């Protein structure tokens, strides 16, 4: 007989040992897979590092992926800490980009110092309102937030697609479904060759750490996540806390949309979220819901993504094989969290009482 039991005396050192063991097992399993493909595992791993950090251009490309991952993870973290399963960051990114694009298309000819703050605010409001809807439904009728937030993703995608193929199509695109590029005043400047959004990501990591660990609001979010009944007993306004936290969660994801539209694509399109909303769920869990850990985890995940793309070219590895390699590593790392939280207890099945069996 095998049963699961909650870990009772999990120390930080023991948790770290479990995670390190999982990483070692991940590389061992991945090495076997690489050998089956006919390549040297050490050479492939080295090439992945080269593909992610081998030149200034590759470092910039890796950080370009890490920026939206970090910010989206911070947004999701706020909701997850409250055990509100926000799976709708994709839609919140898109609606934040949509709101910011409205500002860019209408006020883009003004000074950058006016336009960018307005786009930033619009992105936060757009994403925050898109997350507020499932939070309100949860509080009003106790709906399933996982399903509602997931479905809202597709509504957002179809809305942006409608604009891209219809009202907002660029008349100068010769019939191609493309929206106009932003004016120069609506484009986030670059710093060291990277869009300045990396400063925003670092700022939000610090702010999230302070909010979650040193503020009344963060304490209330944690208490609601642990027990709604306890929060109510302590006199907390649970409805207000949930709605506020989801506006913050969606708003941060909306800022991601603004930065991607303004700093990377210089326009709006339906693929602007690039799957960051779903990928950030993984990086959020890998960080252990700790804001300061989100940044390095997001950089490493971005490096694995870029490195995986690089070895496809160098070793002529099919894209599917590279994705299998990445998935194997993630499987072990995420699986280690189970053993941090739980343990397996083995019990011998008790033999029946002979006297009872004879009756």
75-119 confidence digits (pLDDT tens): 999 999 999 999 999 999 999 999 999 999 999 889 999 999 999
Q: List 342's β-bridge partners, or say none.
A: 6
**What's the whole-number mean pLDDT along residues 51-65?**
92
What are the tens digits of pLDDT across the range 131-161? 999 999 999 999 999 999 999 999 999 999 9
- 189 has a pLDDT exceeding 50: yes
pLDDT band at 1 (very low <50, low <70, confident <90, very high): confident
Count CB neighbours of 145 within 10 A.
22
φ, ψ for residue 255 (rounded to 5)?
A: -65, -35
**CA 233 from chain center: how many Å?**
33
pLDDT band at 255 (very low <50, low <70, confident <90, very high): very high
Count CB neighbours of 327 within 10 A.
11
pLDDT: is 331 or 295 the higher one? 295
The CA-to-CA distance between both ends of the chain, in Å, stands at 26
**What's the whole-number mean pLDDT along residues 206-231?**
94
**What's the whole-number mean pLDDT along residues 173-194?**
88
Q: How far apart are CA 340 and CA 21, in angstroms?
A: 12
Tokens in use for 287? 């960080």
Out of 53-62, 85-94, 324-333, least confident range: 324-333
pLDDT band at 285 (very low <50, low <70, confident <90, very high): confident
The pTM score is: 0.89
- 349 has a pLDDT exceeding 90: no
pLDDT band at 326 (very low <50, low <70, confident <90, very high): confident
Angle at 17 between CA 6 and CA 295, to 5 degrees: 95
In angstroms, what CA-CA distances link 316 with 33, 46, 310, 312, 319? Answer: 15, 16, 10, 5, 9
Cβ(156)–Cβ(118) under 8 Å? Answer: no
Q: Which pLDDT score, from 0 to 100, does residue 162 have? A: 96
In the block, which residue shows the tokens 């910010």? 71
Out of 138-147, 190-199, 245-254, 328-337, least confident range: 328-337
Q: Which helix (H) or strand (E) holds 69?
A: helix 56-81
- 126 has a pLDDT exceeding 50: yes
**What's the whole-number mean pLDDT along residues 332-339?**
82
**CA 131 from chain center: how many Å?**
15
> Please, which contacts does 204-208 make with residues 24 or more away whose CB atoms are closer than 8 Å?
204/70, 204/71, 204/74, 204/252, 204/255, 205/70, 205/74, 205/291, 205/292, 205/294, 205/295, 206/291, 208/74, 208/77, 208/78, 208/291, 208/294
pLDDT: is 26 or 333 the higher one? 26
Average pLDDT, the chain: 90
- 319 has a pLDDT exceeding 90: no
Cβ(26)–Cβ(331) under 8 Å? Answer: yes
For strands 342-346 and 2-6, give the pairing: antiparallel
In percent, the amount of the chain with pLDDT more than 70 equals 97
CB-based contacts of 264: which residues, under 8 Å, 6+ apart? 64, 195
**What's the whole-number mean pLDDT along residues 176-196?**
90
Return the SS3 of 3. strand
Return the SS3 of 343. strand
Q: List 190's β-bridge partners, or say none.
A: 195
Q: Which helix (H) or strand (E) holds 342?
A: strand 342-346
Tokens in use for 33? 């897979």
In percent, the amount of the chain with pLDDT more than 90 equals 65
pLDDT band at 359 (very low <50, low <70, confident <90, very high): very low
Out of 263-272, 306-315, 321-330, least confident range: 321-330
In angstroms, what CA-CA distances link 35 with 26, 241, 328? Answer: 14, 52, 14
């Amino acid at each position: 007989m095998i049963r699961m039991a909650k870990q009772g005396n999990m120390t930080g050192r023991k948790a770290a040992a479990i995670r390190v063991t999982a990483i070692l097992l991940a590389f061992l399993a991945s090495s076997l897979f690489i050998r089956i493909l006919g390549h040297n595992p050490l050479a492939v791993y080295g090439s992945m590092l080269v593909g992610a950090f081998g030149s200034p251009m590759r470092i910039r490309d890796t950080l370009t992926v890490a920026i939206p991952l970090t910010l989206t993870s911070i947004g999701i973290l706020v909701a997850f800490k409250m055990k509100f399963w926000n799976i709708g960051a994709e839609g919140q990114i898109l609606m934040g980009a949509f709101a910011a694009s409205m500002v860019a298309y209408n006020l883009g000819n003004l000074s950058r110092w006016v336009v960018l703050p307005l786009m930033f605010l619009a992105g936060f409001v757009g994403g925050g309102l898109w997350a507020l809807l499932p939070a309100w439904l949860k509080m009003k009728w106790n709906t399933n937030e996982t399903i509602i937030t997931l479905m809202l993703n597709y509504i957002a995608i179809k809305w942006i697609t409608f604009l891209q193929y219809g009202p907002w199509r660029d008349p100068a695109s010769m019939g191609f479904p493309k929206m106009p590029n932003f004016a120069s005043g609506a484009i986030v400047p670059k710093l060291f060759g990277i869009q300045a959004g990396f400063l925003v990501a670092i700022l939000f990591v610090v702010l999230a750490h302070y909010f979650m660990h040193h503020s009344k609001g963060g304490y209330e979010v944690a208490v609601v996540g642990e027990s709604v009944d306890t929060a109510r007993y302590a006199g907390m306004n649970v409805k207000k806390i949930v709605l506020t936290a989801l506006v913050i969660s969606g708003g941060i994801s909306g800022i991601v949309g603004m930065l991607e539209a303004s700093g990377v694509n210089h326009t709006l399109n339906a693929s602007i979220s690039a799957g960051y909303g779903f990928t950030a769920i993984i990086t959020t869990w890998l960080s252990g819901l700790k804001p300061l850990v989100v940044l390095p985890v997001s950089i490493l995940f971005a490096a694995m993504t870029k490195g995986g793309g690089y070895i496809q070219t160098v070793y002529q590895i099919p894209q599917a094989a590279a994705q299998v390699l990445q998935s194997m590593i993630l499987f072990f790392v995420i699986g280690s969290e189970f053993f941090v939280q739980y343990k397996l207890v083995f019990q011998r099945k008790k033999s029946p009482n002979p006297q009872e069996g004879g009756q």
